[in-house]
Structure 1
């Protein structure tokens, strides 16, 4: 295992894995772009806004359907591959049970905050994202943990391909008048694409790595996984709930143009996410090297800092360029999506700084996850979600989507600052303990 950890920290190994993930995410991005354009043109800004508002609500809850088991699987199998069957079985059991609870909660909450016309969308989206989407993510994490990055990258692209294919069929049916151009008509087809992609992912995982081992899920696993679930839900809350609030306020066209601009930002951020997806197992291995010895603690800090320097040094200049390009290409949106999305030009220009802010909090937040308690990162993300919700509740009634944009920028900046502060505190504490301990010599970071 030590040899595998040392090999995985080499620059060429990280580069190889990152290239696979970026290639897969790049293919997924192209397919998502096609899907996005087809659905935008078929639905128009108001119906598209209704769809993204419902998806945003379900997205926050869907993070709890797996209770973070996919991240426990990634961490445990990255460190000890023989844990795969048990970790996969646990993830499957929890995800299926959690999806049933999510379906009930999503329908209940949706009836409270959405207009009656949107209620039929809720069960379809809950199944698509809360069950099938989470199962595909479990499969991808398992392949990632065993360093089969080629297949880990293929699975998300497969989901995007399935949705793009169904979107093309829907667009054609709308054009020929066979299906109404409504969000309800779209979600009735949307969930089938997710189901097909998830089924193929589970078959592939079984073929590559073997069958799961089902058994009793321990309370300790649920408690630890909950920290990852709260973290993911907080991320979804500060990224998505602004669309839900816009829709619940009856501002569906505003939700549509803001959601379209946000989708472009998400696509532009995908290479950053791919880089950190590839690097996360290395962060976990580096964070697990310290043990309780003084020298080991300092060595873990040094290895994590080396990874962060490498990632930021390569990604920051490119991310700044991406933000500039987003500002410049914004006028293309109404050309691609239709005249009802004209307001998305201004929205994208407001949001173009988000990739840089995300790079910063991804870097420091991943270091925190790998080195100290996940609950510390979760606390920062929950605080960011609370800040975003408060700002949106204050700003959206007055400024509509512009208020949501201000809230998003402030939230990501605050999260970056909190993540950096947590990391510096932990690293400083580890070094201090290493210096005062007489147990071993303390290496210096190069």
Structure 2
């Protein structure tokens, strides 16, 4: 199985359980759930302190380092994941979303900040050693388990609640982490645990974590702010459209994930090498992004027929969001070009700057324009990130030449 095939299968599976959840919960309840997931997602990169990306960078260049870097990734995830789960629960006890208990936040945080990150460490371990067929299986495993959880949710519970779903969501993610870890041990090796290694590469890991967190902020902050500053119904409408948008990005994400290791290998000699790889991958990806935008414009009106008439505005929201497919494709490859050539700090600073701009725009626009304001903030932020990152690639390429 290739990574692309696994992403396509995941796309189908996620689409089914997304429809199940959206139809089980009215837009208001679904909006509350989206808001909680968005809050937790902001902290996901720090839950592993960027250790899985450090693993790829080092092991892709020297496979003998695998055991110690996987062991360090597991230890860092357990330590930092627990810390940030505690921080989220403390914050939520003071600033909460109406009708969402702290137990919901606990199970979602535990699932995403510890067990999902452990699963991601396995996924990236397979990338680092070049076993992409097992990377594909690891990717699919999480979605498959969550799909089974969604079927159990509607089959065995007469009055399904967000708390019930959060528990099933946690159990599915926990099972994925255990199964994927067993597969990695059988196919590659055991991890090597040394507490002293937890302190290793903290600065580099922080740089990766900051960059990914900033990306999550401008991807998910709008949903959290909609839940707090607007209505849960608006959050549900926008969240449904955003989910479909993410589905259309699946082929691009699969290609970027499969090539991430190559960017480090090509960039070991400088940005010229990683940029050459970028120029090979970008044309095909941009062609797909334009086709995806056209497909959204044509098929978006069908969305209310699938999710229900109460999601009618989601079709309009999806069409407005569609240009971000092109922007994300452009800045995604620029970002990996910089990271592969050891310019991760430049990438991270740029992403943090855009995350701040995104937060300010959401704060200004959402109270007045609800989900329309969130869309304008997203499009502006994605465009600026594209311009800034390609400006950095141009600058450092010229310096290198």
Which residue in 1 is equivalent to 2:92?
110
User: Larger C-alpha radius of gyration, 1 or 2?
Assistant: 1
Which residue in 2 is equivalent to 1:161?
144
Q: The residue matched to 1:331 in structure 2 has which SS?
A: helix
Which of residues 67, 76, 83 in structure 2 aligns to 1:85?
A: 67
Which residue in 2 is equivalent to 1:441?
none
Cα RMSD, aligned residues only: 1.3
Which residue in 2 is equivalent to 1:354?
324
Which residue in 2 is equivalent to 1:436?
none
Which residue in 2 is equivalent to 1:313?
283
Shift of 1:288: 0.5
Q: The residue matched to 2:20 in structure 1 has which SS?
A: helix
Q: The residue matched to 2:193 in structure 1 has which SS?
A: coil
How do residues 38-437 of structure 1 correspond to structure 2 at under 5 angstroms? 38-118=20-100, 119-173=102-156, 178-180=158-160, 182-215=161-194, 216-217=196-197, 219-249=199-229, 251-290=231-270, 301=272, 303-431=273-401
Q: The residue matched to 1:330 in structure 2 has which SS?
A: helix
Q: The residue matched to 2:298 in structure 1 has which SS?
A: helix
Runs (5+) with no aligned partner, structure 2: none
* Residues 320/376 of structure 1: CA separation in 2 closer, same or farther (3 Å cut): same
Q: The residue matched to 2:47 in structure 1 has which SS?
A: coil
State whether residues 14 and 143 of structure 2, in contact with CA within 8 Å, keep that contact through their aligned partners in structure 1. yes
Runs of 4+ in 1 over 6 A off after TM superposition: none
Shift of 1:218: 5.3
The TM-score normalised by the length of structure 2 is 0.97
Give deviations 1:233-292, integer Å, cap 9, x for gaps.
0010000011111111251111011001000111111110111111111110111134xx
Runs (5+) with no aligned partner, structure 1: 1-18, 291-299, 432-446
Shift of 1:35: 1.0
Shift of 1:305: 2.8
- Cα distance in 1 for partners of 2:399, 2:200 equals 27
Give deviations 1:113-170, integer Å, cap 9, x for gaps.
3235213311010011111110110000000111111110111111000001111121
Which residue in 2 is equivalent to 1:10?
none
Q: The residue matched to 1:117 in structure 2 has which SS?
A: coil
